[in-house]
Chain A
Amino acid sequence: MAILFLDIITTASILFVVAAGLLIVFGVLKIINFAHGGFLTLGGYAALVTTQLEWNPWMALPVALLSGLVLGAIVERLVVRPLYARPLDAILATWGLGIVVVQMITIAFGRGTNFVQSPVQGAIPIAGETYSLYRLIMLGVAIILGAAMIGILQGTRLGLTARAVIMNENLSRSLGINSGLVRFATFSLGSGLAALAGALITPLLSVDPLMGVPWLLNAFMLVMVSGTSLISLGAACLVLGGAQVAISTYSSPVLGALSIVVLAAVLLRVRPAGFARA
C-alpha cells in the first residue's frame, strides 16, 4: 500500500514536470505546442551527451534547460510568432517542428536506444519499504518547480504581466504591456522546461528518438483538462496519474497506458472545464 501511494505521488510528480512547460505556453500563447515532445527528446539527448562526455550527471539539467531555451527562442521568432492568430495551424506547425527536431536527432545519434547515467543510485528506506531515491527526488523537483512557477506568477512583475496577458491580451497591450515579449519569454521558458523534463526523466527510462510522443500525448491531455492553472494541473496529475498507476498495478499495463488519455477525454466530454474552475 505504501508502495502504491509512493508510486502515485511520484508518477504524478513526473507528469507534472513534463506537462508544466506545455501548460504555461498554452496559458499565455493560447496555442498547443506539439513540439513539446520534440523538446523533451532534445533534453533526453542533452543528458545522453553529458553522460558520453563523462560530465557530472547533474550537469545534464542545465545543459538541457539551456538547449531548450535557445531552441525555443529561435523557434518562437521563426515559426510560432506568425501563427498567433491561427491556433489550429500552430498545432500543425509545431508538430512539423517536432518532426524536424526528432529527425535531426536521429541523423546525429541514430535510431537506437541509449541509456543515461543517473545522478543518484539505489533506494532508500521509507515508510517501512525501500523505494527508488531518484523517484523521490522527482517528487521534490515537482514541488520546487510548481512553487517556483507560482511564486513567479504571483510575486513578480513578470508574473503579473504574464497573468494580465493570460486574462486579456488586447487590454494588456493597450495598457502598454509588450505582449510580444511576454510570449517570447513564455515560449522559450516552456521549451526549456520541456527539455529539462526530458533530462529529468531519462535516468528512469531509455533514450530514443521517439521517446517524446507518449509524453506529449499525456501532457496534452493533462493540459486540456487543466486549462491554464498550475494548481489544476497538479490535481489532474494526481488523479489521472493515480488512476494510471492503480490500473497498471491491479489490471493491466496496457489499460494503464491508456488511462490518462481516455479518462481525460471522458472528463472533457462530461465537464468541458475539466479540473479548472468553470
Chain B
Amino acid sequence: MPDSAALAYPVRLPSQRSRIERWLLLVFSVVALALAAAGPLLLDTYSISILIRSFLYGAIAVTLDILWGYTGILSFGQAAFFGIGAYALGLTVTQYDFTAPIVIAALIGGPLVAAATAGLVAWLGFGPKVSPLYISVITLVLSVIFVQVIYSGGDFTGSSSGLSNFDTFDIAMEGWFRIAGAFLVAVTAAGWIFVRSDFGRLLVAIRENEQRCRYCGIGTARVKALLLVGSAIITALAGFAYAGFNDVIAPDLGNFQFGTQLVIWVALGGRGTLIGPAIAAVLIDFISAWLSGSLPFIWQLIIGLVFIVVIVLLPQGLGPAVARLFLRGDSKPVAAGLVALPDADAAGSGAVPAVQVENVTRNYGSLHVLRNVSFTASPGELVSLVGPNGAGKTTLIRCLSDGQERSAGRVAIEGNPIDRLPPEACVRFGLGRKFQTPNVFDALTVAESLRIARSRQERLSVTRTADEVRLPAAAMRVVQATGLSSLLGTTVKHLSHGAKQALELAMVLAMEPRVLLLDEPTAGLTRAERSLIGEVLVELVRAHGLCILLVEHDLEFVRDISSRIIVLHQGSIVMDGTVEEVTNSELVRTIYTGEPHAVAG
C-alpha cells in the first residue's frame, strides 16, 4: 500500500503529472508539425533553404544535450558523425548510380558506420580508470581524424573541396523543409519523453555521481556507450538528409570547429533543458545565415562574446533565464508512494562463505597499506573491523568491492571470485557498500534515488515515471524510522547530513545485498538514529542471514551489535575473535592507546 505519509502531501502523482505533460507535448508537437507543413507557404525561398539546415542542426543539438547536459559527456565529435552520414550519401551516389538500393544502403550504412565509430570512441573513452576529460579529448581527435581522412581521399572524397552536384533525391525544397521539420519535432519529442522518464533520471544520476551508480550495480560505461551510439545514429541521419538536400558536402561538416559550435549552441540554449538547445541551434544558425552576408565577422564576434558571458554569468544558459521571465517557479516536487515488498527468502545454503579474503595486499608504491590480510565471514555474521586511523580499514573495504584495487591476493563474494572486475560486477554478486561520507545523488529526489538503487531488480522505464517506490522491508524500516518517508519528493541536496547518511544506507539496503560493507554508517547520526540502525543491522543478520562487515570507531556500538571483531593494525590483522576476546585483550588496548612496545611483543 502507498505510504500514508507520502499521500498526505497534497501533490500530484508522477503519472498524473506526466499525463498532463504528455498532452501538452502532443499539442506542441502537432502545432510544430503544422508549422513545418505550412512554413513553405509563408516563407521566402532563402529562409526555407536555411531553415532546412537549421532544423537538422536543432535535432543534433537535442542529442548532444542528452549526452552533455543530462549525462555530462562533453563531446566535441558530433560533427564527425554528421559528416559520416553526409559522406555516406555523397560517396555512394558518386561511385554508383542513384538507385533505390544504393540510396537505402547509404541510408543504413552511414548511421551504421557512425554507430560503429561511436562504439569505438566509447570503448576508448569510457574505460576504467580513464579521466572524465578523456572522452572530450577522444571526440576532439575523432573530428581531426575525420577531416584528414576526407583530405587524403583524393578524387574519391573530393579532398578539401568536397563533393558537389551528385545525383540526389527529386524532392522540392518544400518537401525537404517538411521532412527536416518533422525530423526535429520527432527527435525533440522522443528526447523529451526519454529524459523525463525514470531512465532519464539515471542519466542525471550518472552525471552527478557515477561512482554511486556503479555501486548500485549499474554498468554506467555501457549506458554512456549506448547514448553515444544513439546520438551518432541520429546525427548521421541528419547528415544524410543534409547531403541529400544540399547537394554539396565538404570536410568542414565534420571538423572540430563545427563540433564546438554545436556545444556552444547547447550551452547558449541551456544544457539539460532539451528544448533550449533545439531553439538556440535553429535560431542562431538561421540568424547567422542572414547576417553572414552583411556582417559576417561581427556576428561571429557577438556569438563568441555572448557565449563567454553566458558561460561565466549564466551557466544554465539563456533558455532557462528567458523562461524564468515568463514562468513562475512551479516545479513543485512530485511525491511518490512507498510500497513494502514481502520479505525475501532467508539466506542461501550457508555452505559457501559470504566473504573470503586470502592474502590481500595493497601497496601504494613502496607503502604497504594492507599486507597479507586473510579471513572469511559467513552468512549470519556481523563482523566489525576496528583499528586506529590509518590501519587500512577503508582500504580493505575498497579491495573487497572493486577488483582493480588490490595489489595481490584473492577475494570471493558468495563464492564468486571478484578477479579484476569493476564495482558494478562485484555488486551483482550480492555486495552492497555504504561509503564513509554520504555518497548520494544531490540533484535527485529521495524517491528517485531509491528507485535507481532498485534498478537492477526493477528496470527503469525509458518512457514513463513510476508512481511508487517498492522497497524491501529493511530499507523500508530505515526510510520510515528516519523520517525520509515524508521527504520522498525532496531534492537530496536539501537534506541534512544525517538524512543523507540514512538515505545512502536505505539505498544500499534497497539493493537487497547478501553481503553488506558499511564504512562508519552512523557517523553524524543522533543516538536514537544510531541505535535504530544497530537494530536494523542485527535483524538483517539474524533473521535474513546477511553477512555484514562494519567499520566503526564507536567501540560501544561495535560491542553491542557485533558477532565477531577483527582488529587491523598497520595493514595487518592482529586479532580476530569474539567480542569478549577482543574487548578484554591487552593488545587491543595498547594499540589504541599507542604504546609501541606492546605491539612488538
Contacts and interface: CB of A to CB of B under 8 A. Distances in A.
Interface string A99-131: 110011011000000000000000000000000
B304 A272 contact: no
A221 interface: yes
B102 interface: no
A213 B267 CA distance: 21
A268 B125 CA distance: 10
Nearest to B132: A88
Nearest to B300: A103
Contacts of B264: 92, 96
A149 interface: no
Contact of A103 (B74, B141, B151, B304): B304
Contacts of B133: 32, 88, 224
Given A107-B301, A269-B130, A213 B141 contact: no
Contact of A104 (B131, B144, B301, B303): B301
User: Which of the listed residues B129, B145, B305, B312 has the most CB atoms from chain A within 10 Å of its own CB?
Assistant: B312
B148 A96 contact: no
A107 B308 contact: no
A217 B76 CA distance: 12
A71 to B, nearest CB: 14
Interface string B306-346: 01100111010000000000000000000000000000000
B287 interface: no
A252 interface: yes
Given A92-B267, A224-B137, A272 B307 contact: no
A100 B304 contact: yes
A215 interface: no
Interface stretch (A78-86, A137-145, A160-168, A236-244): A78-86
A88 B74 contact: yes
Interface in A245-261: 252, 254-255, 257-258, 261
A99 B307 contact: yes
B260 interface: yes
B134 A268 contact: yes
Contact of A89 (B145, B256, B298, B315): B315
A262 interface: yes
B407 to A, nearest CB: 14
A97 interface: yes
A92 B263 contact: yes
A59 interface: no
Contacts of A93: 307-308, 311-312
B145 A262 contact: yes
A213 B255 CA distance: 11
B160 to A, nearest CB: 11
A254 B151 CA distance: 8
Interface in B124-178: 124, 127, 129-131, 133-134, 136-138, 140-141, 144-145, 148, 151-152
A83 B131 contact: no
Given A92-B267, A103-B301, A213 B311 contact: no
A95 interface: yes
A235 to B, nearest CB: 19
A91 B124 CA distance: 21
Contacts of B303: 99
Interface residues of A, number: 35
Interface in B281-306: 297-298, 300-301, 303-305
B94 interface: no
A100 B301 contact: yes
Contacts of A92: 263-264, 267, 307, 311
B49 interface: no
B122 to A, nearest CB: 12
B257 interface: yes
Contacts, number: 94
A255 B267 CA distance: 33
A99 B134 contact: no
B297 A96 contact: no
Nearest to B255: A213
A107 B141 contact: no
Contacts of A79: 308, 312
B256 A213 contact: yes
Contact of A100 (B131, B256, B308): B308
Contacts of B129: 272
A213 to B, nearest CB: 7
Contacts of B152: 252, 254-255
B304 A265 contact: no
Contacts of A261: 140-141, 144-145
Contacts of A96: 264, 304-305, 307-308, 311
B7 to A, nearest CB: 40
Contacts of B313: 82
A97 B308 contact: yes
B144 A258 contact: yes
A221 B107 CA distance: 34
A97 B298 contact: no
Interface string B81-108: 0000000000000000000000000000
User: Which of the listed residues B134, B303, B304 has the most CB atoms from chain A within 10 Å of its own CB?
Assistant: B304
Contact of A217 (B144, B304, B305, B311): B144
Contacts of A258: 144-145, 148
Contact of A99 (B127, B141, B298, B300): B300
A96 B313 CA distance: 14
Contact of A268 (B137, B300, B301): B137
Contacts of B140: 217, 220, 261
A96 B308 CA distance: 6
A82 B312 contact: yes
A178 B359 CA distance: 48
Closest 3 CB pairs of A and B: A99-B304, A96-B307, A103-B301
Interface of B: 74, 124, 127, 129-131, 133-134, 136-138, 140-141, 144-145, 148, 151-152, 256-257, 260, 263-264, 267, 297-298, 300-301, 303-305, 307-308, 311-313, 315
18 contacts: A82-B313, A83-B312, A92-B307, A93-B308, A96-B311, A99-B303, A100-B305, A100-B308, A213-B256, A213-B257, A221-B137, A221-B141, A254-B151, A261-B141, A261-B145, A262-B145, A269-B127, A272-B129
Given A86-B315, A92-B311, A254-B148, 17 more contacts: A83-B312, A88-B136, A93-B312, A95-B260, A97-B308, A100-B304, A100-B305, A103-B298, A103-B300, A107-B297, A213-B257, A224-B137, A255-B148, A258-B145, A261-B145, A269-B134, A272-B129
